[in-house]
Amino acid sequence: MMEKKYELVAWTKNITDEQNARLYVLPSVEIDLLEPLITEVNECYRLKKENNGYINLELARRFIKVYEQSARLDIFTGHIDSGIRFLLQAADYCIYEELLYEFEKFCEEAIALTRKHGFEYILQEERPKQTLDRYLEHLQGKRERKSDGCIRFADRAQIH
């Protein structure tokens, strides 16, 4: 009779705690998980080049989706710093008015993760800093437009 051999290739920790859940995988498995994301990013860039650099709403959504998926995978596998960068890359593609909510959400999550895990240096890197500068400009504009006596957007952050 042949003896079966098994190899542990992945395991989880704190899976019921969404904030601290982790997936641990062997490097070869991690590459397998990354492969479809890399393929999709390459396809998005090919389409962007094919359209002479123009990014329509559909392509923007594809970029956003793949960068958010990359962020989620990195965060889940404990690569928080890379996850933060990917969240901000996703935010960079929220270039249409109907994507402003997502822009805010990605920036706020990146800032929260940065503070929680002590990765403030990431926010000083050129690309993340540009994204956050846009976010701060957006908040300033939002505050200026809000004048109906309700709690301003900036005040909500202080409430939590």
Tell me what pLDDT residue 96 has.
Answer: 95
Residue 23 one-letter amino acid: L
Tell me what pLDDT residue 44 has.
Answer: 98
Tell me what pLDDT residue 87 has.
Answer: 98
- 135 has a pLDDT exceeding 50: yes
DSSP state string for 60-128: HHHHHHHHHHHHHHHHHTT-HHHHHHHHHHHHHT--SGGGHHHHHHHHHHHHHHHHHHT-GGGGGSHHH
- 151 has a pLDDT exceeding 50: no
pLDDT, one tens digit per residue, over 72-129 is: 999 999 999 999 999 999 999 999 999 999 999 999 999 999 999 999 999 999 999 9
pLDDT, one tens digit per residue, over 1-60 is: 678 888 777 878 877 877 778 888 888 888 999 999 999 999 999 999 999 999 999 999
